[in-house]
Amino acid sequence: MCGICGAYNIIDKDLLKSMCNAIEHRGPDDEGHYIGADVMLGMRRLKIIDLYTGNQPIYNEDGTIVIVYNGEIYNFLEIRKFLEQNGHTFKTNTDTEVIVHLYEELGDRAVERLRGMFAFALWDSSKKRLLLARDRIGIKPLYYYCNDGTVIFASELKAILRYEKIKKRINFNALHDYLTFMYVPAPDTIFRDIYKLEQGHILVCENGNIEIKKYWDVNACFHHDDLEDLFKDEASIGEKMYELVKESLRLHLISDVPVGVFLSGGLDSGTIVAALSEISNNPINTFSVGFPDERDSEIALAGVVAKRFNTVHHEYIVNPASMGDLQKILYFFDEPFADSSAIPTYYVSRYARESVAVALSGDGGDEIFGGYGNYKADKIGLFLRKFPAVVRNKLTRFIVKAIPALDTAKVGKILDALRTTPERAHILWLNCFSEDSKRELYVENHLMRLLDRNSMDRYSSFFNEFDMNDFINKCICVDIKTVLPNDYLTKIDRMSMANSLEVRVPFLDHKLLEFAVRMSSKYKLRGLTTKYLLRKIMKDKLPKEIITGRKKGFTLPLASWFREDFSALVNEFLSKDIIQKRGYFNFTFIKNLADVHLAGKGDNSKLLWALICFEIWHRKFIG
């Protein structure tokens, strides 16, 4: 695992060194540079595979092709054998070197043979050609800036911002979308003229031209001819799926340093530990975080799994007093990011790094196995829409009365979801600020002009890419293209790399993912039982509490903390002086949000958190 950076059409050794310094946390073990006629490449290395000869940059036999690379190629031994049979010679034992020789064989199509997580920059000096690539799912990040034939790229935005000619100007479209989703959706970033290279894409610079191409899309998974052969019956589907889980885990164990597991107490991480116990005789190091209030914590369930499989278990309690690190934690995202589970993820990463250099995480399990609660809401919505509006309204009122714990905001979301299309309803559950609330929030002219642009439109368009009748599967695929790389994988990458820890996500092996998404959603959501088939497979392998337990994960109890210790954050970051000084938002509206929440009359914690995260980002990057 590493951080990479560089530039095309700029040669500035001081800039390259400065960019490497900005991402030193991603690779504290080594630094490497390449300076050519038209390109410069830099990297910071965290040693995981081939500890002694795997330093980068890596070259082909005659030195005409050079690469800097971030990630892991899990099938590199298989590819290496193929390349050696074709006459290629290797100087190292690292997975990085196979990419260079595979490019010699296949050109840009080399990315299609790679199984793993990666972002790399490859320079072909004979053709004066730069190739940037990002893995299929978007596990590893890659950002770029383009201007007049110049390209600057890096694993993190902070490295690109070391180029002094880039003005730190806010992309107001991105801010508008951030307030809806609590992150900035790709390909935008919060800065004008800087972009994310999207999942499954490559960027090619050649002869002064810049071209971006897609090489993989989850939509292509449904155009195979083997669907009937693969999905004959439930038993064979389950057997094949579990074999793919174990195959992925075997590959993800390849390492020259110790490997551990993030254990949340949920079904996904429990499955990883159970499957590892079947395929490995080595002791399993597991790491969990919890909260002082047991109602918010899965740490007890994690302990049940650890005891069942006799793991070497480590626990860490996160409490509001830990929030002294808040500004430091949010700094690593480089743009506003308000997924509060980033905080416990940071601490479990920091704690795990004391014992291991690599950890396995259950991220991606909710997408491929159908685990999110909003999939249940989607299914209920489909059922209710079968009734006439009058009957549907009566049923909705009955549901709302039957769940008295729901606050006004959640009731409003339920009603809004049933008034709109199923596609919009799915996105609605992910929303922070609604378009109506933005009308009350905005006072800045650029933002006011965006009030007629609904942020949900950019996600609604993804549904049109999937020609299928299985709506739940369609929602899952849209999530794989949107919230998964933009939120969950961004979170796990930044928080782990902030602690120089490599985190691997075996459920996002693309062969497992392609199989799982093609399964009918009846194997994922049976009635209102999420992860139906996975629960059935693991029924006799995991403790009953895990099979029947309610999903929590590493989720911060924001609502209660904001009424207690976090109330000081509102005063520190959302005061009248600060809000009016910035000139973006309406202080009266924000004060009302805070007053309602602190009085216990509603849950506005997500809204307040999104605004606080924006202010913390603004202070660090804009001033």
Q: Tens digits of per-residue pLDDT, 272-312?
A: 999 999 999 889 999 999 887 665 567 889 999 999 999 99
pLDDT for 468 equals 84
Cα of first residue to Cα of last residue in the chain, in angstroms, is: 32
Q: Tens digits of per-residue pLDDT, 507-561?
A: 999 999 999 999 999 999 999 899 999 999 999 999 999 998 776 656 677 777 7
Binning the chain into helix, strand and coil, the percentages to the nearest 5 are 50, 15, 35
The SS3 of residue 20 is helix
Is 20 noted as a catalytic residue in this protein?
A: no
Neighbours of 295 (CB within 10 A): 8
pLDDT for 319 equals 77
Tokens of 132: 């940037």
Most confident residue range from 109-118, 281-290, 594-603 = 109-118
Between strands 259-262 and 285-290, the pairing is parallel
Question: Are 169 and 145 within 8 A, CB to CB?
Answer: no
d(CA 362, CA 375): 18
Q: 148, 137, 185, 145: which is closest to 167 by C-alpha? A: 145
d(CA 84, CA 82): 6
Provide mean pLDDT across the span 223-235: 64
Residue 565 pLDDT level (bands cut at 50, 70, 90): low
Q: 2, 205, 477, 613: which is the annotated catalytic residue? A: 2
Q: 390, 382, 387: which is closest to 422 by C-alpha? A: 382
> How does 534-570 read in b/e, with b if 16+ C-beta sit within 10 Å?
bbbbbeebbbeebbebebbbbbbbbbbbbeeebeebb
d(CA 316, CA 348): 7
Tokens of 320: 């509001």
> How does 142-155 read in b/e, with b if 16+ C-beta sit within 10 Å?
bbbbbeeebbbbbb
d(CA 409, CA 603): 7
User: Radius of gyration of the chain from Cα atoms?
Assistant: 24
Tokens of 17: 């060194």
Question: Are 178 and 336 within 8 A, CB to CB?
Answer: yes
pLDDT for 399 equals 66
pLDDT for 155 equals 98
Q: What are phi and psi of 287, to 5 degrees?
A: -135, 130
Provide mean pLDDT across the span 499-504: 96
pLDDT for 421 equals 87
CA distances from 195 to 169, 174, 408 (A): 13, 11, 37
466 versus 589: the higher-pLDDT residue is: 589
- Cα 72 to chain center, whole Å? 16
Residue 598 pLDDT level (bands cut at 50, 70, 90): confident
Model confidence at 410: pLDDT above 70 = no
